[in-house]
Amino acid sequence: MFITDRQAKIVERAKTAGRVLVDDLAAMFSVTSQTIRKDLNDLCDKQILTRIHGGATLPRSNENVRYDARRQIAAAEKQAIGVAAANLIPDNASLFINIGTTTEAVSEALVNHRELMVITNNINVANRLRLLDEIEVVIAGGVVRQSDGGIVGEAAVDFIRQFKVDYAIIGVSAIDPDGALLDYDFREVKVAQAIIANARHVILVADSTKFERTAPVRIGQISQVQTFITDHCPSPSIRDVCLVNGVALVETSKDEELDL
C-alpha cells in the first residue's frame, strides 16, 4: 500500500493533534481543499484515518487497524526499533519472533546475523528469513489469520511450549499506563504468553503510538520483559514501572539525538 509524502505528513499531524481539518491542511500545504479531501478519502479508504465532518481523525483507540495500514504508521520509527533490537541478538542464538509489523522490522534487521534459529508464528517473518543460509527458520502450526499471516490457536501454543530459547521478540497492540500489555485477539495473546514463558530474555518492541491506544485482551505486564525498545516513552508511569522492575528502557529517538 502506497501513500504520498503529503499523506504521510497528514497522518503524522493527526497523531500529534488527534484530528486534522481540511481548511487547515489546505493552508499548510498550499493546495486546494479538494486536493486535501481526496488525500483524506484515500487515507480513510486504507483505514489509516477515520472521516469526520470537515476533516479526519485516527481510528478509535479500541479498534485495530488493518495490517497494510499498520505498516505505514510510524514506519521509520519501527525500522529504528528493529535495528536496535537486532543489535541485542548475538550470533549463534535461538529466538522467538511473534506477530506484528514492529517484530517484522526486527526480522529485516537480522539479515546479517549468523547461525540463528528463529521460531516464529509470523508467516511474513518466515518468508523473509527462510532465504538466508545462516538462519534456520522453524514455523509454528495452527490457524493462519488471513488479515496478516499470523498463526494463532492452541496448536501454535503447544508448539511454542516445546522450546526454551535465548531471546524473544514480542510486539503488542497497546500499553496501558500501569504497564499492562494488551492485544485484540485472545488467540494471539495465548501464543504471546507462551513465548514470554519460554524465553530467557524477552525484548518488547513497540513504537510510541501504542501508548495512545487500548485493546481488550491482556497479554501480561511490562515487568515480565527484560528490555523494552521504543522510539520514545512519553509516560512517566511506564518509566517508573521499568525502573522498579529492572526493565532496560531503550529509546531510539534519544540515540538519533546523540548522533546529531
In angstroms, how far is CA 191 from the centroid of its own chain?
A: 16
- Mean pLDDT over 209-217 rounds to 86
Q: How big is the CA angle at 221 (ends 218 and 197), to the nearest 5 degrees?
A: 90
Distance (Å, whole) CA 223 – CA 62: 23
> Above 70 in pLDDT, residue 1?
no
Question: Which pLDDT belongs to residue 48?
Answer: 81
**What is the topology classification, in CATH, of domain 5-59?**
Arc Repressor Mutant, subunit A (1.10.10)
- Condensed to tens digits (0 to 9), the pLDDT of residues 135-193 reads 999 999 988 887 778 899 899 999 999 999 999 999 999 999 999 999 988 888 999 99
Q: Which three cell numbers stand for residue 100?
A: 506484528
Written out in words, the top-level CATH class of the domain with range 74-259 is alpha beta
What stretch(es) of the chain map to CATH 1.10.10.10? 5-59
Report pTM: 0.74
What stretch(es) of the chain map to CATH 3.40.50.1360? 74-259
Percent of the chain with pLDDT over 70: 92
Q: Is 224 helix (H, G, I), strand (E, B) or coil?
A: helix
**Contact between residue 4 and residue 12 where contact means Cβ atoms under 8 Å apart:** no
**Contact between residue 223 and residue 247 where contact means Cβ atoms under 8 Å apart:** yes
Distance (Å, whole) CA 210 – CA 182: 9
